[in-house]
Every structure is written in C-alpha cells, then in structure tokens.
Structure 1
C-alpha cells in the first residue's frame, strides 16, 4: 500500500506539472510524452534500486546519464530543459522514498511550484528575445541599437552581434528588449537613417 501511495503521489505531481502548467502555456505535444515517459521510467528504476542493495548512489548516477542522453538527442529550449529536469526530479524523489512523508510531499510540490512561478507568462511579461537579420552591415553599435528599437518597437536591454558580413551587407543580432518601451522618437535622425553603410569588400 505504501508503494501505491508513492506512485499515486508521483502521478499526481507529474500530471499537474505536465497538463496544468506546461502544456497550456507551450502546447508542445511531443514533450508531454517525453516528460511522462521519463518520470515514470525514473520512478520505476529508482524504486527497484531503492529496494535493493545497490543504494541511492546509482540512482543519482542514472539521473545524470539520462539527462545527458536526452539533452544531446535533440535541441530544446531552456524552459523545456527546466521541465525535463523537474520530471526527473519528481521521479527520483518518489522512487527513492520509502514512503510518502511530509518532506517528500513538500519537495514535490516545491518542484511544481518553482516551474509554475518561474515560467508564468505574467513574470517579466514585457521582455522579449529575438534573433534579427538586417540587410545593412552595422559597425556602429549605437546605430544598430537605434535601428533595432525602431524595428522591434521596444527598448533594447541586451544586444549581441552574432554575424557581421561586410561583403553581403548583413548583420545578425540576438536582441533582448522590452516591448512597447522604446525611448526613441520616430522622426528623429537616428531612427530615420538606417545607419552607416559599409563599403563592400571585393571577394
């Protein structure tokens, strides 16, 4: 009966995390199967390890091996990495516990609550991130920033140039900005002009 209680607690936690927190926000169906499969698999393996003489050390090693295999198999976003590790953690907390205690229950709720708050759409809701490709090679960061604020309609808070192609006149930048918070005036010279163009270099 104790094992059934542990399994029921884990199923409640992973279903809450997957169906009530993750999927309504991100709608990625393939990761629903991944989260459920990883959680149940880790729960089953850790319960077997916990009932044998192998000990918890191998269970923690399994945590690391599974995470490396999964993260190398396909590219997923950072917030999805967090959900993935949460699914692993819930399975290990449940599987390595001999019974459902106040501590284990509180830790499982804490994992779900951390993702609920940290990935809440209302948290820093005006902040955005974009990779922008412009058809001008900007060597002046101030001019590039002004142009991006015009294009994106927000205030750039972080700017990283990923590619500066002087031959083909291209700038690729990763931009973090606050939407609808541009300090620039639309008809100012800095906005009206696209910035200094760079002479093409002969190939």
Structure 2
C-alpha cells in the first residue's frame, strides 16, 4: 500500500466522521443512521481497496451502487435526504479506496462534503414543509381541499396530492407540501381587504 493510499484512507475516515457527526447527526439526531453511514463508507473503502484495479474499477463502482440500492429497498423506510447521505458515504469510500497515483480525489471528497453541507443546510428552503395529513372530511374538490388545508395549517399550500378519499369514514388522506409563515400573513391581508 502506497503513502498516497494511506493518506486517502485517513482523509476518508475524517470525511465520513465529519459527514456523519458534523453534518447529519447534528442536524437530524438519528444515531442508527450514523452507524449505517460509517459502516457503508468503511465497508466500501475496504472492498474497493482490496479489489480495486483499473480493470474492475468501473464494474466495482456500479456493483456497489447496485448493492446499496437493493439494501435500500429491503430496509426500513428512510427519507430521500438520508438516501443522499448514504450515497455520499458510499461515493467517498469508493473514491478513497480505488487505486490513485495522486491526491486529486481529495478535491472530490471535499466537493461531496460541501455539497451535502449546503444542500441540507437548515436555512435552505427553511419555510418549506411536508406532511401526510388525514382531514376529517371526504373532500374531492381540489380547491376546497386546498382552502381547508391552508386554513388548518395557517400556511400556503404549494402542492396537495390526494392519497385516499374514504367516503365511508368521511376522511381524506393528503400528501401536502406547504410554506410556513406565508398563509397566515395572506389570510390577515385578505381579511383586511374585505
């Protein structure tokens, strides 16, 4: 093993700790996924280091992404955000584990960390929310449903996708995306105009 390979392994371990603890756990507080991210990263790093030759590098990368996809389908439901963290952990391990003659992969690892920091920053799209809501009325009219949701949430509904209308129990299950802090101001403004 070369000095560059050892340096990349050290950088990868520092990067996965930063990604797992510094970014993910600090923002989302799920201990179980921290373990998963570190395990995926170190596992991929180890396999890529052992098997990584120029001839099998591309196939190895595609195979590892495929394995993670299968694991994802078989495991408990996780959000798209957590899938992004999984792929970031996997990509960093793969980049670090493949044979390199120089240290340019450090820039790619840094790019992944910066991208995840920025894309998952709490200030980015801070007012946007997502909920699955069961309304205690069966509402089939889209505008009526949107008005009902905005009144209940006190927010501007940006998207409402009906999942189920139960006419027997008089309920509607809706996947709602909305912006907080907008609907309440709009309702006050509309009330003042009337």
Q: Normalising by structure 1, what TM-score? A: 0.85
Distance 1:176 1:59 in 2: 38
Moved more, 77-86 or 175-184: 175-184
2:146 partner SS? helix
Deviation, 1:99, is: 4.4
Deviation, 1:187, is: 9.7
Q: How does 1:52-91 map to 2 (within 5 A)?
A: 55-74=56-75, 75-91=77-93
Residues 6 and 100, structure 1, Cα contact 8 Å, conserved in 2: no
- Tell me the equivalent position of 1:98: 100
Q: How does 1:87-166 map to 2 (within 5 A)?
A: 87-101=89-103, 103-166=104-167
Cα RMSD of the aligned pairs, angstroms, is 1.9
Higher helix share: 2
The 1:65–1:187 alpha-carbon spacing in structure 2 relative to 1, beyond 3 Å, is closer
Residues 44 and 95, structure 1, Cα contact 8 Å, conserved in 2: yes
Moved more, 137-146 or 116-125: 137-146
- Tell me the equivalent position of 1:23: 25
Deviation, 1:63, is: 1.8
2:179 partner SS? strand
Gaps of 5+ in 2: none
User: Is 1:34 the counterpart of 2:32 in the alignment?
Assistant: no
Distance 1:142 1:65 in 2: 42
**Structure possessing the higher radius of gyration over alpha carbons:** 1
Per-residue CA deviation, residues 114-168 of structure 1 (Å, 9 max, x unaligned), is: 1101011100101111111011111221111111111111000111111111122
Distance 1:20 1:76 in 2: 20
Aligned residues: 186
- Tell me the equivalent position of 1:195: none
Gaps of 5+ in 1: 189-203
Deviation, 1:186, is: 9.9
- Tell me the equivalent position of 1:184: 187
Distance 1:169 1:106 in 2: 56
Deviation, 1:65, is: 2.9
Q: Normalising by structure 2, what TM-score? A: 0.89
